[in-house]
Structure 1
Amino acid sequence: MENKTKQLTFKVKGTGDEITLKNFHAFVAGYTGRDTAAVQQHIDELAEIGVPAPKEIPTFYSVTQDHYDTSGKISKDENLTSGEVEPVYIRHAGKIYLGVGSDHTDRDLETEDIAASKLACAKPVSYQVIAVDDISSLSLDECTARSWVDNLLYQEGKLSGLRTPKNVVDLLIERTDVGDDDFICLGGTLPLLEKKFKSGGAWRVQLELPNGEILEHTYTVN
């Protein structure tokens, strides 16, 4: 793993403790739908417009440590970019934490090269996270995910269509070189309400857990 100076600090809800990732691996998980037939259909549709099929399902796209950002401000180029709400899986000192983030992506570039599109934008994530005692028992099926762009509701729904957190994390460890190191990974999203990407200056992403606990992050695009 390349050593870099970027650090990410998170506050653990309910304890006030902070954790800091220093030398860590950074990924974005793609094609994390639980219905593999539907995922394959989507891949086939993309192939028809020239987007290469992934070698594995799900796919873990490697990004740099610098891509992940908790500042609440990111920049963009002239292309169409947009965010989407996703659970964030973090491992620090062997312990798993859950956050919320946005896989902000260059949608123009995405039609040509998905891996490159993931590298084109910063990945905003929440400063607050929740400590996960046992990832085997962590279910997000009844978790409601929402996103807003410029105060308009953009996504809303349960995350029961995604692979379980344990499955995503297990496959990440199995298929990459993380070993016992710290890592952070966006874990997948749900469909857009209007089925059309929108750009915007103000974004808000939220996970509402079954117990009423909320993880949320807001950011602006300059």
Structure 2
Amino acid sequence: MTDTATRLRLDTVDGAEVEIAPTHLVVAGYTGRDLAAVRHHIDELAAIGVPEPETIPAFYPIDVDLITTGAEVEVGGTATSGEVEPVLIRANGTYYLTVGSDHTDREMETVGIHLSKAACPKPIASTVIELGDPPSLVDWDEIVVRSWVDGELYQEGTLDAMRPIVEVLAEWDQINGSSDVALVLFGGTRPLLDGTFRYGRHWRMQLQVPGRDPIELSYSVNVRNP
């Protein structure tokens, strides 16, 4: 997974164009600050057959070619859904923050979370906020994320219940013994407003840092023909 031709052309909110060539894509899960609540959620999932994670937070490295800024993604089944997530990018000697969707195959999730995440593309916005090096996220608790599916609000709230993504990154680096690889890290998500997965076609994600215009991501889902 370390050799890739993946290149992403992005724009910063300040108007600069950047090109990144990530070599690693990692989706983090169970990133809540309340460990008791995280443990309860794991037990709930285990009761319906979803395997427990090996670590908390859990890390799922997947093929970097799954990253996309395209307006359409292709999936293999009808039971897939997105989730809004903050995304941290480490590349070019600096860090960037954007919004992404951890689009996941929900039927495959009971077989294995890693497999379910690797089964779908991972859309990210083409606009990023440069954070510098070391990355500064002073307003983390006040960042608001939202998602919509087929025009209906699906998720909404601040990130104050989630571990700051720079802390999640530090744990990943410690586990892997490396802090210099070009990386795209999905940092976890908020609960669904009604607690029920939706399998719609049109998805919209938003991340709003206080004092800045929201970063937006929109994409449509197409199911491959068998």
- Using the size of structure 1 for normalisation, the TM-score is 0.94
| 2:140 match | 140
The code of the aligned residue for 2:164 comes to T
2:116 is the counterpart of 1:117: yes
8 A contact 1:204–1:219 mirrored in 2: yes
| 2:94 match | 95
8 A contact 1:79–1:107 mirrored in 2: no
Q: CA RMSD in A?
A: 1.5
Give the SS at the match of 2:142: coil
Per the TM alignment, residue 76 of structure 1 is displaced from its structure 2 partner at its CA by 1.6
8 A contact 1:142–1:210 mirrored in 2: yes
Greater shift, 132-141 or 144-153, is seen at 132-141
Per the TM alignment, residue 23 of structure 1 is displaced from its structure 2 partner at its CA by 4.8
| Identity score, percent | 45
For structure 2, list consecutive stretches of 5 or more residues without a partner in the other structure: none
Deviations 1:96-126 (A, max 9, x none): 1000010000011112210100101000000
Q: In 2, Cα distance between the equivalents of 1:5 and 1:164?
A: 30
| 1:72 match | 71
Give the SS at the match of 2:141: coil
The code of the aligned residue for 1:108 comes to E
Greater shift, 209-218 or 147-156, is seen at 209-218
| 1:184 match | 184
Per the TM alignment, residue 177 of structure 1 is displaced from its structure 2 partner at its CA by 5.2
The code of the aligned residue for 2:98 comes to G
Q: In 2, Cα distance between the equivalents of 1:151 and 1:49?
A: 29
2:13 is the counterpart of 1:13: yes
Q: In 1, Cα distance between the equivalents of 2:177 and 2:12?
A: 26
| Residues 204 and 23 of structure 1, relative CA distance in 2, 3 Å threshold | closer
| 1:44 match | 43
The code of the aligned residue for 1:38 comes to A
Give the SS at the match of 1:39: helix
Deviations 1:143-183 (A, max 9, x none): 11100111111111111110012211211211225431110
Deviations 1:33-65 (A, max 9, x none): 111111011112222233221111001100111
The code of the aligned residue for 1:24 comes to T
8 A contact 1:100–1:205 mirrored in 2: yes
Q: In 2, Cα distance between the equivalents of 1:72 and 1:64?
A: 20
| 1:204 match | 204
How many residue pairs get aligned? The number is: 221
Q: In 2, Cα distance between the equivalents of 1:191 and 1:198?
A: 13
Per the TM alignment, residue 78 of structure 1 is displaced from its structure 2 partner at its CA by 2.4
Give the SS at the match of 1:75: strand
Q: In 2, Cα distance between the equivalents of 1:58 and 1:37?
A: 13
Give the SS at the match of 1:129: strand
For structure 1, list consecutive stretches of 5 or more residues without a partner in the other structure: none
| 1:57 match | 56
